[in-house]
């Protein structure tokens, strides 16, 4: 009966559900959560919602001063024993990533959920401190090293939640040329590769850790106007929306609607604390439900996940390539 009630509640959530809707009546006192990217947007809202329901949130950010300002209201709104503390994490520097992870391991305090939320989108052809293409290096490889180094801290029954994107439909990963050394650089293709990598990382992490009760999932938060789009050219978003709405109209669907930030962060907290673990393990979620596999013409706002992003053999191959690139085995 209890499981049926949980499932019925989970099915009640959708695209317009907010973090507070999803966590209504959920007591997170005693839960410890790590959230990356808490200096803006979804990361701040995720931390706020969890702390407001009693969780101890450790927020990671590259710019601590910015994160302190961004989370000031959220820290003041923590309730039921909840709190938000901040640590420095620069995902574009493996030296910094390893130092941050090592400090957490040395402290030895476990986490119930790790939400890998930080990311960059559509950057020019930049490179990380270690020479990786910036989007793949930050969105995937930085999290790959960080999460694997602290994996022992995720308690049995815990979860890893990777914030991916519908942008994964732009491209599969390219294991032969991950840094665009031999192919022309296209910002959205690079973004798509990194977001596909987020999903594949969750698939393989789930396989490796589910025997001890730790599950992993990835998700699309929805289209939300946040700082993530800061590298896009003026007018580019407008042109993209025109194309999206033309596709929507051709399919008899209503025009695209932006989500609010609380709606965008809802799927992260749903996947972390509300959805049944067995349902979301090694899956891709959107709008507070598990997405179906889709094929055919690429439509960035239509629901679903590409088959290549959930392929277990592909996930193993990406894991091996990632280990090779960072010079570390997990």
Longest CA–CA separation in the chain, Å: 56
Token duo for residue 120: 């960059």
Check residue 302 and report its DSSP letter: S
Angle 40-46-48 (CA atoms, 0-180°, nearest 5)?
A: 90
Is residue 195 within 8 Å of residue 164, measured between CB atoms? yes
* CA gap 113, 118 in Å, rounded: 15
Match 């910036």 to its residue by tokens.
134
DSSP 3-state assignment of 222? coil
Is residue 140 within 8 Å of residue 158, measured between CB atoms? no
- Dihedral of CA 223/146/110/275: which sign? positive
Specify whether 191 is catalytic.
Answer: yes
Among residues 31, 39, 165, 191, the one annotated as catalytic is: 191
Token duo for residue 128: 């990380």
DSSP 3-state assignment of 289? strand
* CA gap 119, 172 in Å, rounded: 18
Among residues 39, 170, 194, 195, the one annotated as catalytic is: 195
Among residues 164, 171, 194, 268, the one annotated as catalytic is: 164
Specify whether 66 is catalytic.
Answer: no
The 3 state secondary structure assigned to 105-166 is HHHCCCEEEEEECCCCCCCCCCECCCCCEHHHHHHHHHHHHHHHHCHHHEEEEEEEEEECCH
The catalytic site residues sit at: 164, 191, 195
């Amino acid at each position: 009966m209890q499981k049926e009630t949980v499932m019925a509640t989970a099915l009640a959530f959708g695209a317009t559900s907010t973090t507070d809707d999803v966590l209504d009546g959920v007591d997170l006192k005693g839960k410890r959560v790590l959230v990356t990217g808490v200096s803006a947007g979804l990361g701040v809202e995720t931390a706020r919602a969890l702390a407001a329901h009693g969780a101890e949130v450790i927020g990671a950010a590259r710019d601590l001063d910015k994160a302190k300002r961004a989370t000031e209201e959220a820290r003041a709104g923590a309730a039921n024993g909840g709190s938000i503390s901040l640590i420095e994490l620069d995902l574009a520097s493996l030296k910094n990533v390893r130092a941050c992870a090592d400090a957490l391991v040395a402290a030895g305090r476990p986490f119930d959920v790790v939400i890998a939320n930080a990311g960059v989108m559509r950057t020019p052809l930049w490179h990380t401190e270690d020479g990786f293409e910036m989007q793949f290096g930050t969105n995937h490889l930085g999290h790959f090293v960080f999460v694997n180094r602290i994996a022992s801290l995720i308690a049995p029954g815990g979860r890893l939640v990777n914030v991916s994107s519908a942008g994964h439909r732009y491209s599969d990963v390219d294991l032969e040329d991950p840094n665009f050394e031999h192919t022309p650089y296209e910002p959205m293709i690079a973004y798509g590769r990194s977001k596909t990598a987020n999903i594949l990382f969750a698939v393989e992490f789930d396989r490796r850790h589910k025997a001890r009760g730790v599950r992993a999932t990835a998700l699309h938060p929805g289209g939300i106007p946040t700082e993530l789009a800061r590298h896009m050219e003026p007018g580019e978003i407008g042109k993209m929306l025109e194309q999206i709405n033309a596709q929507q109209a051709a399919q008899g669907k209503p025009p695209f609607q932006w989500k609010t930030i609380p709606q965008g962060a809802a799927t992260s907290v749903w996947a972390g604390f509300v959805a049944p673990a067995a349902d979301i393990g090694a899956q891709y979620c959107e709008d507070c439900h598990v997405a179906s596999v889709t094929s055919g013409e690429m439509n960035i706002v239509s629901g679903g996940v590409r088959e290549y992003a959930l392929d277990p053999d592909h996930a193993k191959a990406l894991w091996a390539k990632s280990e090779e690139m960072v010079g570390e085995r997990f």
